[in-house]
Structure 1
Amino acid sequence: MRRLLLCLLPLAFLVNGCTTGYDAFSDVSSAKTRFSDTKPQDFGSDHPQRHAIHGIDISKWQGDIDWRAVKASGVAFVFIKATEGKDRIDPRFTEYWNEASTAGLLHAPYHFFYFCSTADEQADWFIRNVPKDAMALPPVVDVEWNPGSPTCRTRPAPEVVRTEIKRFMDRLQAYYGKRPIIYTSVDFHRQNLVGYFKDYHFWVRSVAKHPKEIYADRTWAFWQYTSTGLVPGIKGPTDINVFAGSEQNWHNWVAAVQKQGNS
């Protein structure tokens, strides 16, 4: 039965979304990476190095990047901040996007969602600034509370939150041909998302405990396990993430989402 599950997992996952766990059935092995962490967390037997595929997420704060060194360190993918709200774009987005492409690193853009702007205003802004023909991986919507924001600290009711997020993602999927990934934090997920969006891939932040301990009833596709990583080619701390499945799961998933974009 286990062998059958291993064979069926990639297809089931690609067709049905995150309804089946990657790491529950996949053979994972220690990743061959050259990056480290200034404040490593002890995750016990479920440590991130069990996973073969690692990646980073970046914004303007990473500054100048040596992309060849990044790729050589074992980074397989990168999430790049593109836009925020209805009128902000990361000033290094285009530069990072082009350089990641040149280095041969798979990359996806992410949007920081503001609850002081409508979903349509934000979708219009994202679509205006992110090239359709360069969408190798699905776009990401970053949904979390932002108490330090100087312009938007509002916290709508959960029903409003879910409606706005869904509208934004529907717009992006219709335009780019790929179902967006949802990035979220523990508190935001607990207050707004538990039990919802089960047919979407989730990218979760969990830097103190394994996601299975703090994300109720949620199967995750990507896990952001540290914000204090040291990655060759980048000065200063960097967020590091893992993909939940095996290397073969990863290749299957990438092939499937790229095909979606070309259909």
Structure 2
Amino acid sequence: MITTSPRPWVRAGALIVALAATLGGCGSSAPRTATLSASETQALYIRENRASGIPRRFGDTKPHDWGAISPQRYPVHGLDAARYQGVINWHEARDAGIRFGYLKATEGGDVLDPAFVQNAAGARAAGVPVGAYHFYYFCRPAHEQAAWFIANVPKRRGDLPPILDMEWNHLSPTCRIRPPAAEVRASIREFSRIVERHYGTAPVIYTTPDFYARNDLGSLRGTEFWLRSVTAHPSERYPDERWSFWQYTGTGLVPGVRGPVDLNAFAGNEANWQRWLAARSQG
């Protein structure tokens, strides 16, 4: 779930406004001033980045040519975000079809995401189910990281279950180690056990194809997965694995969200989603 911070439609919007102003002046003695609001500029940028295979009101700056099993086949979609997306307008996102949101809350044993509190409150106010995720740091014990997450993410009735984000972080300036697979799986179990005891619901494990394969995560029986697969259906990248969420792009565009954002699909239909919410939301 590592995200980036570019806001491409800010640059594109400036070009659009400049072009409109120039064209407005052609053939007339008094050039017209083109004015587009931020939301109008965003909407125009999304329209220019329509992508097949995903819900129509979303866009993608790097679309994939989906085959027979496209993300659009699934009716329930959501996003995950961090501080790079700034303050999200959850009412706009909800009206565009966003049904859930996951937000980065913590990392390691001493890092907080400064956007978490405000965006989580905004999602709840808009009626969008929201949850928190922890980005795992391989140079700190699992029990310390679980304690840090618990200390900074209040237990709230109706919030989504926690997410444990397990992936290699090649960008980390302080921790480049890659522990043995057995140690990685033991860390997942320890973190999950502590967090489940506190929140009353087990965390979902987010991961990537390389991390999943390298650490044999398929051997973690009873684990609920959120799987990243941006160029193929999860069944191709994670053969025989069950999943609840599929992250199908990291370059999605959604009304109300500044810049590219991760988009995700829930595995089932509307009835499945409601049952999952009832069973897995915090009590």
TM-score (norm 2): 0.79
Which protein has greater RCO, CA pairs closer than 8 Å, 6+ apart? 1
Deviation per CA, 1:112-157: give whole Å up to 9, x if none.
0111000111011000000012561110000000111011111000
Match runs of 1:175-190 below 5 Å? 175-190=198-213
Q: Deviations over 1:138-185 (max 9, x none)?
A: 100000001110111110000100101110010000000001100001
Superposition RMSD in Å: 1.4
**Alpha-carbon separation, structure 2, partners of 1:223 and 1:254:** 16
User: Which residue among 184, 189, 209 is the counterpart of 2:232?
Assistant: 209
- Indicate whether 1:114 and 2:137 are aligned: yes
Deviations 1:172-221 (A, max 9, x none): 00000001100001100001134322312100110011111111331111
SS of aligned partner of 1:169: helix
**Partner residue of 1:24?**
none
Instruction: Normalising by structure 1, report the TM-score.
Output: 0.85
State the AA in 2 paired with 1:47. Answer: S
Return the letter of the residue paired with 2:68: S
Q: Specify the code of the residue in structure 2 equivalent to 1:151.
A: T
Runs of 4+ in 1 over 2 A off after TM superposition: 30-33
Residue 274 of structure 2 corresponds to residue 251 of structure 1: yes
Contact persistence 1:55–1:78 (CA under 8 A): yes
Moved more, 194-203 or 45-54: 194-203
* 1:98 equivalenced with 2:145 (yes/no): no
Moved more, 34-43 or 222-231: 34-43
Q: Provide the rounded CA distance (Å) in 1 between the counterparts of 2:68 and 2:122.
A: 36
Contact kept, 8 Å, 1:76 with 1:105, in 2: the verdict is yes
Is the CA contact (8 Å cut-off) linking 1:184 and 1:205 kept in structure 2? yes
Q: What stretches of structure 2 of length at least 5 have no aligned partner?
A: 1-52
How far apart in 1 are the matches of 2:57 and 2:174?
A: 39
The share of aligned pairs that are identical, in percent, is 48
2:90 matched residue in structure 1? 67
Q: Name stretches of at least 5 consecutive residues in structure 1 with no aligned partner.
A: 1-29
1:86-129 deviation per Cα after TM superposition (whole angstroms, max 9, x unaligned): 00010111111111111110011000011100011101100000
* Structure showing greater Rg: 2
Asked if residue 218 in structure 1 is aligned to residue 241 in structure 2, the reply is yes
**Offset of residue 32 of structure 1:** 5.9
